[in-house]
C-alpha cells in the first residue's frame, strides 16, 4: 500500500473507541498508512469509558456466535496485551448468584453453555461456599468463574491508542465525519468540518453510530437501537465488602446481564447497569434518571445488604449499540463484514457487551480481512510495548522515597483522595494524543476521581495548566470543545492572566 500525501491513507478507522483503537494498533504491525478519525476530543469517550470494565470469560453468549468466539479468545489474549501495554488487569473471578432455588437451573445452563464455548474452570458452588468466598453476599448457589477479570476500560483504550500512535498511526480528534463519497477509482473521500480525507479502506467502528456511518456510505440495512445503562460508583471504602464480581442470573430477554456489582481495578465498586432503550435520535443522552438510580441501590442490596447510599461518590451512564429493537430485546450477534455493494468498507455493527473483551479478536479479524486482499507486508519497526503513567500511590515506601529523590514533583500530592502527585498530573497533561480536557487528565491520572470528586485538586490542576501552558479562562474545558468550565475573568479583580 502506498498512500503518502498528508490527507491520503491506506486505511481510515472511524471511531476511536476500544474497537477502533485495537484495530489501529493491530494494523500498525503492517506497512499501512493509517488514520483514526474521532469526533470527540479524546479516545474512548463513547461506550468504551462507560461500561463495567469486565473481561468476560465467555459463558453468557450463545455457542457458535461471534460474540462467544471473540469473547473467549479475548479473555485468553488479554493478559499478554495488558502486559505489553502496561494496563491494569486483575483476575478477580466472578460469581453469578442464584437468589433462590428456582434460579439454580439457570446457573447450570450457563455452566453448560460456557463449557461449550471453551470457558475453563467453571464451577457451581453452594451457599456455604459462597459464604466462604464472599461473607457479605446472599445467595443459595452460584456459578464461579475464575477466568473473569477486570481492567480499566478507558486506560486500556488510551493505551491501545498511544501504542498505535507510536507505531505511526495518525489520530485526528475533534474530527467528525460528515459525508462519505466512494469515487469511481474505488477510493473513499471523507468530509469533516475542516478537512477532507482520502482512503482505500474504510473501517466503521463507530459503536452506537455505526448504522449512521454505514448509511453515509450508502448501506442502509443496519439498525441500532441505543440502550442505556446507568451506574453508581462507590467509594473505595466499599471495596472490602466483596472480592469477586457479583452478578444475578441473567434473563436473556432483557438484553443485559442484570444489575451487578463490579469491583474496579482502582478499588472502587460499580453498581449497574440498568437496561433502558432510549430515543434513537438522542444517542448521546448519557443522563442518569431518578427512577433508575433508586432501583440500582435496591437491586444491589438484594445480593449485598451492606451496600448503602453513604458509599456513593458518582454516577454515570453508558449506551449499548443493540441491533434488537425494544419489542424484541435480547441479543443479536456482531456483524463484522465487508459489504458487497461497497467494497473495501468494513462495518462493525452491534458491538455491544462483551465488546471490551472481544475488541482485540475483532481487530485481528478486521486486519486478516484486509491482509487477505492486500497481502500486507510487516512493519519491521513495530513496537508492541507502551508504558503507562507510574502511580505513586501504589508503590511501596522505599520506591516512593526514591521517586521523590529523583523527581521532586513526586513529592507534591495534588489529588489527596487518590494520592496523585504533580509528576503524574503533568504526565497526564502532556499525554501523547494531546487531549487536554479536564476529563482527559482525570482518566489518565485518576485525579478528581476520588471521594471529593475534585473538590480539592480541580483548582490546583487548573493552576498547573495555567502555569505551564498559559491557559486563559476559555481554554479550560471539561469534556472537549465548548464545554467551558468558566465564563470569564472576575470583573473587578486582578485580571487572571
Partner 1 sequence: MINKDVVIIGGGAAGLAAAVACRDKGIEDILIIERESALGGILKQCIHDGFGLIKFQHSYTGPEYAQKYVDQVEKQEIAYLLDSMVIDITSQKVLTVVNKSGLKKYKAKSIILAMGCRERTRGAIGIPGTRPTGIYTAGVAQNLINIHNYMIGKEVVILGSGDIGLIMARRLMLEGATIKMVLELLPYGSGLPRNFNQCLSDFDIPLYLNHTVVDIKGNKRVEAITMAEVDHNGKVILSTCQEVPCDTLLLSVGLIPENELSKMAGIQLDSLTGGALVDEYGQSTVKGIFACGNVLQVHDIVDNVSLEAEHIACGVEKYLSSFLKPKNDIAIEIGEGLRYVLPQRIQYLDDTVFSFRVKKPGKKKQIVFKNDNRIIKEKSFIRVNPAEMIRIKLTSSELSDIKHLKVELN
Please give the residue ranges that form the binding site for partner 1 (CB under 8 A).
Answer: 232-233, 284-290, 293, 309, 312-316, 397, 400-401, 404-405, 408-413, 416-417, 419, 451-456, 458-459, 462-463, 473, 477-496
| Cβ 32 to partner 1 shortest distance, Å | 35
Q: Which of 56, 79, 170, 260 is catalytic?
A: 56
Q: How many angstroms separate the Cα of 417 from the Cα of each of 264, 344, 367, 393, 420?
A: 16, 49, 42, 10, 8
- Residues found in the chain: 497
Q: What angle do CA 478, 482, 488 make, to 5 degrees?
A: 80
Least distance from C-beta 456 to partner 1, angstroms?
7
Nearest approach, Cβ of 95 to partner 1 (angstroms)?
A: 27
Pairing label, strands 196-204, 345-349? parallel
Our CB check for partner 1 shows the closer of 112 and 490 to be: 490
Grid cell listed for 59: 459463558
Residue 118 and residue 63: Cα distance in Å, rounded?
9
Q: CA of 292: how far to CAs of 373, 384, 387, 442, in Å?
A: 48, 42, 39, 26
Please state, in angstroms and rounded to a whole number, the distance separating the CA atoms of residues 208 and 224.
7
CB 156 within 8 A of CB 163: no
Distance of alpha carbon 377 from alpha carbon 366, whole angstroms:
16
Distance in angstroms (rounded) separating the CA atoms of residues 267 and 264: 5
DSSP string, 211-255: HHHHHHTT------EEEEEEEEEE-GGGGGG-SSEEEEPP-GGGS
Nearer to partner 1 (CB atom), residue 201 or residue 312: 312
260 has catalytic annotation: no
Q: Residue 65 or residue 174: which is nearer to partner 1 going by CB?
A: 174
Nearer to partner 1, 16 or 293 (CB): 293
CB of 484 to partner 1, least distance (A): 6
Rounded CA separation 124/110 (Å)? 10
In whole angstroms, how close is the CB of 424 to partner 1 at the nearest point?
Answer: 13
Instruction: Please state at what angle helix 66-85 crosses helix 355-374, rounded to 10 degrees.
Output: 90
In the complex with partner 1, which residue's Cβ is closer, 204 or 274?
274
Q: CA angle, 443 as apex, 441 and 447 as ends, to 5°?
A: 65
First vs last C-alpha separation in the chain: 49
Q: Which is nearer to partner 1, 183 or 310 (CB)?
A: 310
Cα 424 to Cα 435: distance, rounded to the nearest angstrom: 15
Q: How far is the CB of 410 from partner 1 (least distance, A)?
A: 8
Angle between helices 458-469 and 438-445 (to 10 degrees): 110
Name the minimum Å distance from CB 22 to partner 1. Answer: 26
Residue placing its CB nearer to partner 1 in the complex, 186 or 495: 495
Rounded to an integer, what distance in angstroms lies between the CA atom of residue 484 and that of residue 173? 18
Count CB atoms within 10 A of the CB of residue 30: 21
Neighbours of 196 (CB within 10 A): 11
Question: Is 445 or 458 the residue whose CB approaches partner 1 more closely?
Answer: 458
Task: Tell me the closest approach of the beta carbon of residue 313 to partner 1, in angstroms.
Answer: 5
Question: In the structure grid, which three cell numbers stand for residue 265, read together?
Answer: 481495578
Instruction: Tell me the catalytic residues.
Output: 56
Amino acid at each position: 500500500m502506498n498512500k503518502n500525501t498528508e490527507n491520503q491513507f491506506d486505511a481510515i478507522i472511524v471511531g476511536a473507541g476500544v474497537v477502533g483503537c485495537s484495530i489501529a494498533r493491530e494494523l500498525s504491525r503492517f506497512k499501512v498508512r493509517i488514520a483514526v478519525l474521532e469526533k470527540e476530543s479524546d479516545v474512548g469517550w463513547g461506550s468504551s469509558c462507560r461500561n463495567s470494565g469486565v473481561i468476560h470469560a465467555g459463558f453468557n453468549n450463545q455457542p457458535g456466535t461471534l460474540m462467544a468466539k471473540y469473547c473467549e479468545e479475548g479473555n485468553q489474549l488479554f493478559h499478554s496485551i495488558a502486559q505489553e501495554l502496561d494496563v491494569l488487569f486483575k483476575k478477580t473471578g466472578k460469581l453469578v448468584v442464584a437468589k433462590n432455588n428456582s434460579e439454580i437451573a439457570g446457573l447450570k445452563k450457563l455452566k453448560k453453555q460456557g463449557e461449550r464455548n471453551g470457558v475453563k474452570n467453571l464451577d457451581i458452588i453452594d451457599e456455604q461456599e459462597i459464604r466462604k468466598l464472599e461473607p457479605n453476599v446472599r445467595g443459595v448457589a452460584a456459578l464461579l468463574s475464575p477466568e473473569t477479570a477486570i481492567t480499566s476500560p478507558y486506560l486500556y483504550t488510551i493505551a491501545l491508542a498511544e501504542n498505535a500512535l507510536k507505531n505511526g498511526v495518525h489520530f485526528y480528534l475533534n474530527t467528525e465525519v460528515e459525508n462519505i463519497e466512494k469515487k469511481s477509482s474505488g477510493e473513499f473521500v471523507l468530509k469533516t468540518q475542516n478537512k477532507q480525507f482520502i482512503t482505500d479502506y474504510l473501517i466503521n467502528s463507530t459503536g452506537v453510530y455505526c448504522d449512521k456511518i454505514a448509511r453515509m456510505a450508502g448501506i442502509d440495512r443496519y439498525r441500532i437501537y441505543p440502550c442505556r445503562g446507568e451506574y453508581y460508583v462507590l467509594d473505595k471504602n466499599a471495596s472490602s465488602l466483596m472480592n469477586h464480581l457479583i452478578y444475578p442470573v441473567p434473563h436473556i430477554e432483557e438484553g443485559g446481564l442484570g444489575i451487578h456489582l463490579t469491583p474496579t481495578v482502582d478499588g472502587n465498586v460499580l453498581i449497574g447497569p440498568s437496561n433502558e432503550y432510549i430515543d434513537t435520535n438522542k444517542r448521546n443522552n448519557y443522563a442518569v434518571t431518578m427512577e433508575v438510580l433508586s432501583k440500582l441501590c435496591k437491586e444491589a442490596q438484594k445480593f449485598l445488604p451492606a451496600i448503602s447510599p453513604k458509599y456513593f461518590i458518582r454516577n454515570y451512564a453508558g449506551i449499548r449499540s443493540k441491533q434488537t429493537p425494544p419489542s424484541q430485546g435480547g441479543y443479536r450477534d456482531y456483524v463484522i463484514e465487508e459489504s458487497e455493494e461497497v467494497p473495501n468498507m468494513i462495518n462493525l455493527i452491534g458491538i455491544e457487551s462483551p465488546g471490551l473483551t472481544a475488541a482485540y479478536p475483532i481487530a485481528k479479524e478486521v486486519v486478516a480481512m484486509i491482509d487477505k486482499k492486500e497481502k500486507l507486508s510487516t512493519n519491521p519497526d513495530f513496537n508492541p510495548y507502551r508504558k503507562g503513567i507510574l502511580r505513586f500511590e501504589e508503590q511501596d515506601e522505599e520506591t516512593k522515597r526514591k521517586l521523590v529523590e529523583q523527581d521532586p514533583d513526586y513529592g507534591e500530592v495534588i489529588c489527596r483522595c487518590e494520592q496523585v502527585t504533580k509528576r503524574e498530573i503533568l504526565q497526564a497533561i502532556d499525554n501523547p494524543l494531546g487531549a487536554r480536557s479536564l476529563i482527559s487528565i482525570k482518566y489518565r491520572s485518576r485525579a478528581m476521581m476520588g471521594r471529593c470528586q475534585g473538590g480539592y485538586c480541580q483548582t490546583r490542576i487548573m493552576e498547573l495548566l495555567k502555569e505551564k501552558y498559559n491557559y486563559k479562562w476559555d481554554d479550560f474545558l471539561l469534556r472537549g470543545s465548548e464545554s467551558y468550565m468558566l465564563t470569564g475573568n472576575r470583573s473587578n479583580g486582578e485580571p487572571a492572566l
